[in-house]
């Protein structure tokens, strides 16, 4: 229900048969990728946290055009209802994570389409540990259950070598927490022999932090309409229509309906002098390494609805500031209906997120005596700090617009085709996700062979 200071460098890329990287305001070609260093420390106090400045890479698109959609299936697969292996056992686990008040059945169309499109190397598993009201127990609680579930799948399935996540809405936050629980760093000597190593001269190689997720090589982390910055602030929860009074009343009311999860999404969880969970999840803490876990994935992609999503705003789902929202093209990319823009945002070095004394004071005011003024102040501080944390990693950002769809107001469910009959406007988005997975799988195979 409630889904919803370094400069941010943007490099525009065209997701078409001919790939190009262009600077947003210039139009000149830009080459991506440079080494970066890393360090981490605790974020449990009001002091800032620093850690590695992320992932540098070459992004290359192979020009795969969307094909006609079908629910035909073939090959090996897994779901929450069981695992089926054929003669050629898959070695790449793809975990599907649903959103709030949902279930694995939300992935029926996506699961069938991915089985048809991405080949036999993938073992597709639709998570079932956080169904319906279990999503109200908190992002941390749901994330730990998801981590346990994934670990059981890995332990009971032979031959798995790689892992990816595809999550919708609140499920993206569950997945971010889960991968941090499942993360294990590897030493430099181990990294030299692992698939995470970088072939510098290979245009398809991706630089990532050395580490494993559930003992497997992490490849893709993909979210669809996920509130990465929470839902507090102007139009972050669009069905409130940006009305100041409603946005002031929502934070104290949210926990009544959505429990612990609601307070975490509105950034009011915990004691006033402690950072809220979503801020902690943008850095490495002493007990859990959130950013290092995300940083070890070869590819991170966020899909965001630019409009008509009443659950999750464009800003929070695309990890952008208000000033960075530029009117997107209205024309879809070739072969991917309603996918209107693709942008690669390389990592931006910074000293990471902070929880300064003024943030603690603003949090206390927002908790005890919410008003338009102190609520806005608190949100502005927290949003900037969360962006500082997340922008230290490179992200591919895909903008989706259902403005021309017959039912554009279903955008939040269209983006992952929750129901094949009512939300089929999102089939082009699913095709884009499938081709992104295939592209990365091919890049991984090429890198391994070099």
Report whether pLDDT(429) > 70: yes
Each residue's pLDDT tens digit, 117-173: 998 899 999 999 999 999 999 999 999 999 999 999 999 999 999 999 999 999 999
Burial class (CB in 10 A: 0-12, 13-18, 19+), 120: middle
Q: pLDDT at position 414, please?
A: 95
| Residue of higher predicted confidence among 47 and 105 | 105
Mean pLDDT of the chain: 76
Each residue's pLDDT tens digit, 283-306: 999 899 999 999 999 999 999 999
Each residue's pLDDT tens digit, 242-253: 455 555 555 656
Each residue's pLDDT tens digit, 186-244: 866 555 554 443 333 333 333 456 899 999 999 999 999 999 999 865 555 554 444 55
Q: How long, in residues, is the chain?
A: 450
Q: Which domains does the chain have, with CATH numbers?
A: 92-186+208-230+288-348+389-448 (3.40.50.1820)
Tokens of 144: 């730990």
pTM exceeds 0.85: no
């Amino acid at each position: 229900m409630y889904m919803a200071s370094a400069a941010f460098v943007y490099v525009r890329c065209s997701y078409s048969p001919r790939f190009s990287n262009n600077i947003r305001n210039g139009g000149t070609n830009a080459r991506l990728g440079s080494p970066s260093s890393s360090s981490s420390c605790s974020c449990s106090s009001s002091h800032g946290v620093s850690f590695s400045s992320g992932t540098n890479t070459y992004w290359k698109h192979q020009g795969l055009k969307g094909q006609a959609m079908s629910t035909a299936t073939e090959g090996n697969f897994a779901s929450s209802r069981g695992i089926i292996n054929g003669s050629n056992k898959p070695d790449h686990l793809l975990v599907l994570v649903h959103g709030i008040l949902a279930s694995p059945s939300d992935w029926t169309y996506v699961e069938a389409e991915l089985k048809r499109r991405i080949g036999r190397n993938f073992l597709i598993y639709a998570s079932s540990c956080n169904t319906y009201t279990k999503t109200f127990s908190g992002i941390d609680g749901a994330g730990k259950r998801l981590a346990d579930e994934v670990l059981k799948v890995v332990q009971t399935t032979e031959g798995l070598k790689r892992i990816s996540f595809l999550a919708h809405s609140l499920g993206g936050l569950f997945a971010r927490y889960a991968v941090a629980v499942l993360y294990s760093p590897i030493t430099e000597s181990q990294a030299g022999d692992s698939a995470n190593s970088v072939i510098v001269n290979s245009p398809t190689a991706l630089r990532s932090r050395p580490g494993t997720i559930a003992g497997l090589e992490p490849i893709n982390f993909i979210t669809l309409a996920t509130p990465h910055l929470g839902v507090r602030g102007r139009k972050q929860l669009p069905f409130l229509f940006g009305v100041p009074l409603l946005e002031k009343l929502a934070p104290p009311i949210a926990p009544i309906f959505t429990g612990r999860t609601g307070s975490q999404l509105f950034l009011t969880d915990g004691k006033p002098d402690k950072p809220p969970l979503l801020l902690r999840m943008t850095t490495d803490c002493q007990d859990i390494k959130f950013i290092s876990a995300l940083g070890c994935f070869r590819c991170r992609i966020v899909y965001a609805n630019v409009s008509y999503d009443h659950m999750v705003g464009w800003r929070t789902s695309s990890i952008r500031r208000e000033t960075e929202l530029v009117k997107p093209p209205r024309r879809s990319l070739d072969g991917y209906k309603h996918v209107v823009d693709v942008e690669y945002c390389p990592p931006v070095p910074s000293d990471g997120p902070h929880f300064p004394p003024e943030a603690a004071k603003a949090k206390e005011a927002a908790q005890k005596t919410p008003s338009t003024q102190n609520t806005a102040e608190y949100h502005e501080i927290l949003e900037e700090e969360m962006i500082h944390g997340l922008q230290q990693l490179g992200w591919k950002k895909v903008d989706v617009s259902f403005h021309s769809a017959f039912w554009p107001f279903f955008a939040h469910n269209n983006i992952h085709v929750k129901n094949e009959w009512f939300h089929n406007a999102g089939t082009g988005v699913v095709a884009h996700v499938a081709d992104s997975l295939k592209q990365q799988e091919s890049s991984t195979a090429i890198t391994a062979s070099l």
